Amino acid sequence: MNDSIVVQARNVNFAFGEGEVRKQVLFDNNLDIRRGELVIMTGPSGSGKTTLLTLIGGLRSTQEGSLKVLGQELSGLTDRDRVAVRRRLGFIFQLHNLFDSLTAIENVRMSMELHPYETADMVGRAREMLEKLGLGERIQYKPHALSGGQRQRVAIARALVNRPALILADEPTAALDKKSSRDVVDLLKALTREEGSTILMVTHDSRILDVADRIVNMVDGHIASDVAVRESLRIIELLKKSAVFKQLSPTEALNCAEKMSKEESPAQKVVFRQGDVGDKFYLIEKGAVDVIVGAGEAGRIVATLQAGDFFGEAALLTGETRNASILAREDCVFFTMSKENFQQTLASSETFEQQFRKVVFQRQSAG
Protein backbone atom coordinates (compact mmCIF):
# COMPACT_ATOMS: atom_id res chain seq x y z
CA MET A 1 0.00 0.00 0.00
CA ASN A 2 1.14 3.50 -0.81
CA ASP A 3 2.61 5.20 2.29
CA SER A 4 0.57 8.29 1.75
CA ILE A 5 -2.71 6.37 2.09
CA VAL A 6 -3.69 6.55 5.76
CA VAL A 7 -7.10 4.88 5.51
CA GLN A 8 -8.06 2.38 2.85
CA ALA A 9 -11.45 0.68 3.01
CA ARG A 10 -12.40 -1.96 0.46
CA ASN A 11 -15.85 -3.51 0.26
CA VAL A 12 -16.51 -2.98 3.95
CA ASN A 13 -19.77 -4.49 5.18
CA PHE A 14 -21.02 -4.56 8.75
CA ALA A 15 -24.07 -5.92 10.57
CA PHE A 16 -25.30 -5.64 14.14
CA GLY A 17 -26.88 -8.69 15.81
CA GLU A 18 -27.15 -12.23 14.56
CA GLY A 19 -29.76 -14.61 13.19
CA GLU A 20 -33.29 -13.21 13.35
CA VAL A 21 -32.18 -9.81 14.62
CA ARG A 22 -29.24 -9.41 12.28
CA LYS A 23 -29.31 -5.99 10.69
CA GLN A 24 -26.77 -4.96 8.09
CA VAL A 25 -25.89 -1.28 8.40
CA LEU A 26 -22.82 -0.90 6.14
CA PHE A 27 -22.84 -1.99 2.51
CA ASP A 28 -19.82 -2.25 0.27
CA ASN A 29 -17.91 0.83 1.38
CA ASN A 30 -14.74 1.99 -0.35
CA LEU A 31 -12.72 4.92 0.84
CA ASP A 32 -9.16 6.21 0.48
CA ILE A 33 -7.84 8.96 2.70
CA ARG A 34 -4.38 10.33 2.05
CA ARG A 35 -1.91 11.80 4.52
CA GLY A 36 -2.70 15.40 5.42
CA GLU A 37 -6.26 15.30 4.11
CA LEU A 38 -9.20 16.65 6.05
CA VAL A 39 -12.24 14.65 5.00
CA ILE A 40 -15.71 15.59 6.16
CA MET A 41 -18.39 12.90 6.28
CA THR A 42 -22.02 13.95 6.14
CA GLY A 43 -25.26 12.01 5.81
CA PRO A 44 -28.60 11.46 7.52
CA SER A 45 -28.84 10.19 11.06
CA GLY A 46 -28.71 6.39 11.15
CA SER A 47 -26.87 6.14 7.82
CA GLY A 48 -23.86 4.39 9.40
CA LYS A 49 -21.30 7.18 9.86
CA THR A 50 -20.45 6.40 13.48
CA THR A 51 -20.30 2.67 12.77
CA LEU A 52 -17.79 3.20 9.97
CA LEU A 53 -15.75 5.58 12.15
CA THR A 54 -15.58 3.07 15.02
CA LEU A 55 -14.44 0.34 12.61
CA ILE A 56 -11.69 2.57 11.21
CA GLY A 57 -10.68 3.44 14.77
CA GLY A 58 -10.36 -0.21 15.77
CA LEU A 59 -13.12 0.22 18.37
CA ARG A 60 -15.05 -2.69 16.81
CA SER A 61 -13.78 -5.71 14.96
CA THR A 62 -14.32 -5.79 11.23
CA GLN A 63 -16.57 -8.43 9.67
CA GLU A 64 -16.23 -8.27 5.91
CA GLY A 65 -13.93 -6.44 3.55
CA SER A 66 -10.51 -4.96 4.07
CA LEU A 67 -9.66 -1.97 6.24
CA LYS A 68 -6.11 -0.66 6.39
CA VAL A 69 -5.29 2.08 8.85
CA LEU A 70 -1.79 3.63 9.07
CA GLY A 71 -0.48 0.70 7.07
CA GLN A 72 -2.06 -1.96 9.31
CA GLU A 73 -4.75 -4.35 8.06
CA LEU A 74 -7.43 -4.40 10.77
CA SER A 75 -9.35 -7.35 9.46
CA GLY A 76 -8.44 -10.44 11.46
CA LEU A 77 -6.49 -8.57 14.15
CA THR A 78 -6.64 -9.73 17.77
CA ASP A 79 -8.21 -7.37 20.30
CA ARG A 80 -4.76 -6.70 21.67
CA ASP A 81 -3.34 -5.65 18.32
CA ARG A 82 -6.32 -3.41 17.75
CA VAL A 83 -5.53 -1.63 21.01
CA ALA A 84 -2.05 -0.93 19.68
CA VAL A 85 -3.56 0.68 16.56
CA ARG A 86 -5.97 2.71 18.70
CA ARG A 87 -3.09 4.24 20.67
CA ARG A 88 -1.83 5.87 17.50
CA LEU A 89 -5.14 7.61 16.84
CA GLY A 90 -6.90 10.63 18.27
CA PHE A 91 -10.61 10.21 19.00
CA ILE A 92 -13.06 13.04 19.41
CA PHE A 93 -16.36 11.32 20.13
CA GLN A 94 -19.45 12.75 21.72
CA LEU A 95 -19.32 10.82 24.97
CA HIS A 96 -16.18 12.47 26.16
CA ASN A 97 -15.69 10.64 29.49
CA LEU A 98 -13.53 13.15 31.30
CA PHE A 99 -12.42 12.16 34.79
CA ASP A 100 -14.56 14.16 37.22
CA SER A 101 -11.93 14.20 39.94
CA LEU A 102 -9.22 15.62 37.67
CA THR A 103 -8.76 19.20 36.47
CA ALA A 104 -8.84 20.10 32.79
CA ILE A 105 -5.07 19.99 32.46
CA GLU A 106 -4.82 16.72 34.41
CA ASN A 107 -7.38 15.17 32.08
CA VAL A 108 -5.29 16.19 29.09
CA ARG A 109 -2.07 14.93 30.73
CA MET A 110 -3.67 11.54 31.38
CA SER A 111 -3.64 10.77 27.67
CA MET A 112 0.07 11.59 27.51
CA GLU A 113 1.16 9.03 30.09
CA LEU A 114 1.75 6.31 27.55
CA HIS A 115 3.92 8.53 25.42
CA PRO A 116 7.57 9.36 26.05
CA TYR A 117 7.60 12.97 27.22
CA GLU A 118 9.57 14.75 29.94
CA THR A 119 7.26 15.89 32.75
CA ALA A 120 7.93 19.59 32.22
CA ASP A 121 7.32 19.16 28.52
CA MET A 122 4.01 17.40 29.22
CA VAL A 123 2.68 20.25 31.30
CA GLY A 124 3.74 22.77 28.66
CA ARG A 125 2.13 20.87 25.81
CA ALA A 126 -1.10 20.22 27.70
CA ARG A 127 -1.36 23.89 28.65
CA GLU A 128 -0.60 25.04 25.11
CA MET A 129 -3.29 22.80 23.64
CA LEU A 130 -5.90 24.03 26.14
CA GLU A 131 -4.92 27.63 25.37
CA LYS A 132 -5.34 27.05 21.64
CA LEU A 133 -8.86 25.87 22.39
CA GLY A 134 -9.65 29.01 24.38
CA LEU A 135 -9.42 27.35 27.81
CA GLY A 136 -6.25 29.08 29.08
CA GLU A 137 -8.18 30.50 32.04
CA ARG A 138 -9.82 27.19 32.89
CA ILE A 139 -6.95 24.73 33.07
CA GLN A 140 -7.37 24.14 36.82
CA TYR A 141 -11.16 23.67 36.65
CA LYS A 142 -12.76 20.29 37.12
CA PRO A 143 -15.42 19.10 34.63
CA HIS A 144 -18.41 19.93 36.89
CA ALA A 145 -17.29 23.58 36.87
CA LEU A 146 -17.16 23.73 33.07
CA SER A 147 -19.95 24.16 30.53
CA GLY A 148 -20.80 21.37 28.06
CA GLY A 149 -18.92 23.16 25.31
CA GLN A 150 -15.86 23.67 27.53
CA ARG A 151 -15.85 19.98 28.50
CA GLN A 152 -16.03 19.10 24.84
CA ARG A 153 -13.00 21.30 24.19
CA VAL A 154 -11.05 19.61 27.00
CA ALA A 155 -11.84 16.27 25.34
CA ILE A 156 -10.61 17.69 22.04
CA ALA A 157 -7.37 18.91 23.66
CA ARG A 158 -6.91 15.43 25.09
CA ALA A 159 -7.37 13.83 21.67
CA LEU A 160 -4.95 16.19 19.95
CA VAL A 161 -2.17 16.68 22.48
CA ASN A 162 -0.20 13.67 21.28
CA ARG A 163 -0.36 14.91 17.69
CA PRO A 164 -1.85 11.66 16.38
CA ALA A 165 -1.26 10.76 12.74
CA LEU A 166 -4.99 10.09 12.30
CA ILE A 167 -7.80 11.93 14.07
CA LEU A 168 -11.34 10.55 14.02
CA ALA A 169 -13.96 13.05 15.09
CA ASP A 170 -17.69 12.38 15.42
CA GLU A 171 -19.63 15.65 15.37
CA PRO A 172 -16.91 17.42 17.35
CA THR A 173 -18.57 20.82 17.14
CA ALA A 174 -22.13 19.72 17.93
CA ALA A 175 -22.09 21.20 21.45
CA LEU A 176 -20.10 24.30 20.57
CA ASP A 177 -21.06 27.87 19.77
CA LYS A 178 -20.03 29.48 16.51
CA LYS A 179 -16.75 30.94 17.74
CA SER A 180 -15.61 27.74 19.49
CA SER A 181 -16.54 25.64 16.44
CA ARG A 182 -14.41 27.86 14.28
CA ASP A 183 -11.47 27.62 16.76
CA VAL A 184 -11.74 23.84 16.75
CA VAL A 185 -11.83 23.42 12.97
CA ASP A 186 -9.06 25.99 12.46
CA LEU A 187 -6.94 24.03 14.92
CA LEU A 188 -7.71 20.76 13.12
CA LYS A 189 -6.88 22.30 9.77
CA ALA A 190 -3.60 23.69 11.16
CA LEU A 191 -2.66 20.18 12.35
CA THR A 192 -3.07 18.83 8.82
CA ARG A 193 -0.84 21.56 7.44
CA GLU A 194 1.79 21.72 10.17
CA GLU A 195 1.99 18.12 11.35
CA GLY A 196 0.67 16.28 8.31
CA SER A 197 -2.16 14.89 10.48
CA THR A 198 -5.02 13.22 8.67
CA ILE A 199 -8.58 13.89 9.80
CA LEU A 200 -11.90 12.16 9.21
CA MET A 201 -14.68 14.20 10.74
CA VAL A 202 -18.41 13.55 10.80
CA THR A 203 -20.38 16.79 10.90
CA HIS A 204 -23.70 18.35 9.98
CA ASP A 205 -22.32 21.81 10.54
CA SER A 206 -22.42 23.53 7.15
CA ARG A 207 -20.47 26.48 8.58
CA ILE A 208 -17.29 24.43 8.64
CA LEU A 209 -17.42 22.63 5.30
CA ASP A 210 -14.93 25.14 3.89
CA VAL A 211 -11.99 23.45 5.62
CA ALA A 212 -12.63 20.11 3.92
CA ASP A 213 -10.42 18.73 1.20
CA ARG A 214 -13.14 16.22 0.43
CA ILE A 215 -16.73 15.67 1.40
CA VAL A 216 -17.97 12.11 1.64
CA ASN A 217 -21.71 11.58 1.80
CA MET A 218 -23.10 8.45 3.45
CA VAL A 219 -26.62 7.30 2.60
CA ASP A 220 -28.23 4.06 3.85
CA GLY A 221 -24.93 2.52 4.88
CA HIS A 222 -23.14 3.30 1.65
CA ILE A 223 -20.80 6.08 0.55
CA ALA A 224 -22.96 7.75 -2.08
CA SER A 225 -20.52 10.44 -3.17
CA ASP A 226 -16.96 11.48 -2.55
CA VAL A 227 -16.11 14.94 -3.83
CA ALA A 228 -12.72 16.64 -3.99
CA VAL A 229 -13.67 20.07 -2.75
CA ARG A 230 -10.69 22.05 -3.97
CA GLU A 231 -10.91 20.55 -7.43
CA SER A 232 -14.65 21.32 -7.53
CA LEU A 233 -14.00 24.89 -6.42
CA ARG A 234 -11.39 25.28 -9.17
CA ILE A 235 -13.83 23.96 -11.75
CA ILE A 236 -16.52 26.33 -10.47
CA GLU A 237 -14.12 29.29 -10.75
CA LEU A 238 -13.48 28.28 -14.33
CA LEU A 239 -17.19 27.77 -15.07
CA LYS A 240 -17.90 31.27 -13.77
CA LYS A 241 -15.42 32.71 -16.27
CA SER A 242 -16.85 30.75 -19.16
CA ALA A 243 -19.51 32.52 -21.22
CA VAL A 244 -21.94 29.60 -21.12
CA PHE A 245 -21.60 28.55 -17.52
CA LYS A 246 -21.51 31.87 -15.74
CA GLN A 247 -25.32 31.93 -15.50
CA LEU A 248 -25.46 28.77 -13.41
CA SER A 249 -26.61 29.07 -9.82
CA PRO A 250 -24.03 27.95 -7.22
CA THR A 251 -25.86 24.63 -6.77
CA GLU A 252 -26.06 24.00 -10.52
CA ALA A 253 -22.37 24.88 -10.83
CA LEU A 254 -21.48 22.43 -8.06
CA ASN A 255 -23.56 19.69 -9.71
CA CYS A 256 -21.75 20.38 -12.93
CA ALA A 257 -18.31 20.40 -11.28
CA GLU A 258 -19.01 17.06 -9.63
CA LYS A 259 -19.59 15.51 -13.04
CA MET A 260 -16.36 16.73 -14.58
CA SER A 261 -13.03 15.00 -14.58
CA LYS A 262 -9.58 16.27 -15.31
CA GLU A 263 -7.67 15.24 -18.41
CA GLU A 264 -4.28 16.27 -19.73
CA SER A 265 -3.00 16.46 -23.27
CA PRO A 266 0.60 17.17 -24.31
CA ALA A 267 1.37 19.73 -27.02
CA GLN A 268 0.74 18.50 -30.60
CA LYS A 269 -1.60 15.74 -29.52
CA VAL A 270 -4.82 15.32 -31.48
CA VAL A 271 -7.61 15.46 -28.89
CA PHE A 272 -10.16 14.18 -31.40
CA ARG A 273 -10.54 13.98 -35.16
CA GLN A 274 -13.18 15.28 -37.52
CA GLY A 275 -15.54 12.34 -38.19
CA ASP A 276 -15.05 10.73 -34.74
CA VAL A 277 -18.14 9.89 -32.72
CA GLY A 278 -18.65 12.55 -30.02
CA ASP A 279 -18.34 11.18 -26.49
CA LYS A 280 -17.28 14.12 -24.33
CA PHE A 281 -17.54 17.82 -23.76
CA TYR A 282 -14.31 19.77 -22.99
CA LEU A 283 -13.60 22.90 -21.01
CA ILE A 284 -10.03 24.24 -21.22
CA GLU A 285 -8.36 24.91 -17.89
CA LYS A 286 -4.84 25.52 -19.21
CA GLY A 287 -3.20 25.78 -22.61
CA ALA A 288 -4.67 26.36 -26.06
CA VAL A 289 -6.00 24.23 -28.92
CA ASP A 290 -6.47 24.70 -32.67
CA VAL A 291 -9.80 23.83 -34.26
CA ILE A 292 -9.01 22.33 -37.67
CA VAL A 293 -11.47 21.63 -40.45
CA GLY A 294 -10.41 19.22 -43.20
CA ALA A 295 -7.57 16.71 -43.13
CA GLY A 296 -3.89 16.72 -44.16
CA GLU A 297 -2.94 19.36 -46.75
CA ALA A 298 -6.51 20.59 -46.97
CA GLY A 299 -6.82 21.13 -43.22
CA ARG A 300 -7.14 24.72 -42.08
CA ILE A 301 -7.25 26.29 -38.63
CA VAL A 302 -10.63 27.93 -38.16
CA ALA A 303 -10.18 28.98 -34.56
CA THR A 304 -7.81 28.87 -31.60
CA LEU A 305 -9.34 28.34 -28.18
CA GLN A 306 -7.82 28.96 -24.76
CA ALA A 307 -8.41 28.74 -21.01
CA GLY A 308 -12.11 29.24 -20.20
CA ASP A 309 -13.19 28.24 -23.74
CA PHE A 310 -15.00 25.00 -24.42
CA PHE A 311 -15.30 22.61 -27.38
CA GLY A 312 -16.80 19.30 -28.33
CA GLU A 313 -20.40 20.36 -27.75
CA ALA A 314 -21.59 20.29 -31.38
CA ALA A 315 -21.54 16.53 -31.89
CA LEU A 316 -23.25 16.05 -28.52
CA LEU A 317 -25.99 18.51 -29.38
CA THR A 318 -26.63 17.25 -32.92
CA GLY A 319 -25.79 13.55 -32.58
CA GLU A 320 -23.58 13.86 -35.66
CA THR A 321 -19.87 13.04 -35.78
CA ARG A 322 -17.19 15.59 -34.87
CA ASN A 323 -17.31 18.51 -37.31
CA ALA A 324 -13.66 19.48 -36.76
CA SER A 325 -10.41 18.14 -35.34
CA ILE A 326 -8.83 19.51 -32.19
CA LEU A 327 -5.04 19.76 -31.88
CA ALA A 328 -3.33 20.82 -28.65
CA ARG A 329 -1.09 23.82 -29.45
CA GLU A 330 0.60 23.57 -26.05
CA ASP A 331 0.40 21.28 -23.03
CA CYS A 332 -3.24 21.42 -22.03
CA VAL A 333 -5.42 20.58 -19.05
CA PHE A 334 -9.13 20.01 -19.70
CA PHE A 335 -12.14 19.35 -17.55
CA THR A 336 -14.33 16.93 -19.44
CA MET A 337 -17.91 15.77 -19.07
CA SER A 338 -19.35 12.60 -20.54
CA LYS A 339 -22.05 12.87 -23.20
CA GLU A 340 -24.70 11.53 -20.79
CA ASN A 341 -23.82 13.99 -18.04
CA PHE A 342 -23.60 16.84 -20.53
CA GLN A 343 -27.09 16.11 -21.84
CA GLN A 344 -28.46 15.76 -18.31
CA THR A 345 -26.90 19.08 -17.31
CA LEU A 346 -28.47 20.82 -20.28
CA ALA A 347 -31.83 19.23 -19.57
CA SER A 348 -31.69 20.19 -15.89
CA SER A 349 -31.82 23.93 -16.48
CA GLU A 350 -33.85 25.61 -19.17
CA THR A 351 -32.08 28.95 -18.81
CA PHE A 352 -28.75 27.20 -19.03
CA GLU A 353 -29.74 25.33 -22.16
CA GLN A 354 -30.95 28.55 -23.82
CA GLN A 355 -27.81 30.39 -22.83
CA PHE A 356 -25.68 27.54 -24.05
CA ARG A 357 -27.37 27.38 -27.45
CA LYS A 358 -27.10 31.16 -27.81
CA VAL A 359 -23.36 31.19 -27.16
CA VAL A 360 -22.81 28.25 -29.49
CA PHE A 361 -24.87 29.96 -32.19
CA GLN A 362 -22.96 33.24 -31.84
CA ARG A 363 -19.69 31.40 -32.03
CA GLN A 364 -20.72 29.51 -35.15
CA SER A 365 -21.95 32.58 -36.96
CA ALA A 366 -18.78 34.46 -35.99
CA GLY A 367 -16.57 31.61 -37.24
| Residue 164 binds which of ligand ADP, Mg ion, none (CB < 5-8 A, kind-dependent) | none
Determine the residue with CB nearest Mg ion. Answer: 50
Query: What is residue 52's three-state secondary structure?
Result: helix
Using alpha carbons, select from 192, 159, 6 the residue that is nearest to residue 89.
159
Which helix (H) or strand (E) element contains residue 185? helix 178-195
Cβ 18 to ligand ADP shortest distance, Å: 11
Q: Which is closer to ligand ADP, CB of 8 or CB of 47? A: 47
Cβ 86 to ligand ADP shortest distance, Å: 18
| Residue 48 binds which of Mg ion, ligand ADP, none (CB < 5-8 A, kind-dependent) | ligand ADP
Q: Which is closer to ligand ADP, CB of 25 or CB of 233? A: 25
Strand bridging mode 89-92 / 261-265: unpaired
| Residues of the shown chain interacting with ligand ADP in the complex, contacts defined by CB under 6 A | 16, 25, 43, 45-51
47 in contact with Mg ion (CB under 5 A): no
232 in contact with Mg ion (CB under 5 A): no
325 in contact with Mg ion (CB under 5 A): no
| Residue 16 binds which of ligand ADP, Mg ion, none (CB < 5-8 A, kind-dependent) | ligand ADP
Rounded CA-CA distance 12/62 in Å is: 8
Q: Which is closer to ligand ADP, CB of 92 or CB of 161? A: 92
341 in contact with Mg ion (CB under 5 A): no
Buried b (16+ CB within 10 A) or exposed e, 109-139: bebbeeeebeeeebbebbbebbebbbbeebb
Q: Which is closer to ligand ADP, CB of 48 or CB of 143? A: 48
CB atoms within 10 A of CB 246: 12
173 in contact with Mg ion (CB under 5 A): no
Q: Which is closer to Mg ion, CB of 200 or CB of 315? A: 200
Using alpha carbons, select from 312, 327, 335, 311 the residue that is nearest to residue 263.
335
Angle, alpha carbons 226-228-230 (nearest 5°): 160
Using alpha carbons, select from 169, 170, 188 the residue that is nearest to residue 45.
170
Q: Which is closer to ligand ADP, CB of 46 or CB of 275? A: 46
Cβ 49 to Mg ion shortest distance, Å: 5
Q: How many residues bind Mg ion (CB under 5 A)?
A: 1
Residue 243 DSSP one-character state? T
Rounded CA-CA distance 162/90 in Å is: 8
Q: Which residues does 2 contact at the CB level (< 8 Å), separation at least 6? A: none
Q: Which is closer to ligand ADP, CB of 46 or CB of 196? A: 46
Q: Which residues does 14 contact at the CB level (< 8 Å), separation at least 6? A: 24, 25, 26, 48, 51, 52, 55, 60, 62, 63, 64
Cβ 45 to ligand ADP shortest distance, Å: 4
Radius of gyration, alpha carbons of the chain? 26
The answer to whether 175 and 205 are in contact (CB under 8 A) is no
Contact region with Mg ion (CB under 5 A), list: 44-52, 256-264, 326-334, 353-361: 44-52
Cβ 199 to ligand ADP shortest distance, Å: 17
Q: Which is closer to Mg ion, CB of 50 or CB of 173? A: 50
Cβ 16 to ligand ADP shortest distance, Å: 3
Cβ 47 to ligand ADP shortest distance, Å: 4
50 in contact with Mg ion (CB under 5 A): yes
Give me the sign of the Cα torsion angle 113, 114, 118, 121.
negative
| Residue 232 binds which of ligand ADP, Mg ion, none (CB < 5-8 A, kind-dependent) | none
Cβ 85 to Mg ion shortest distance, Å: 21
Using alpha carbons, select from 214, 215, 223, 240 the residue that is nearest to residue 308.
240
Q: Which is closer to ligand ADP, CB of 91 or CB of 352? A: 91
Q: Which residues bind Mg ion (CB under 5 A)?
A: 50
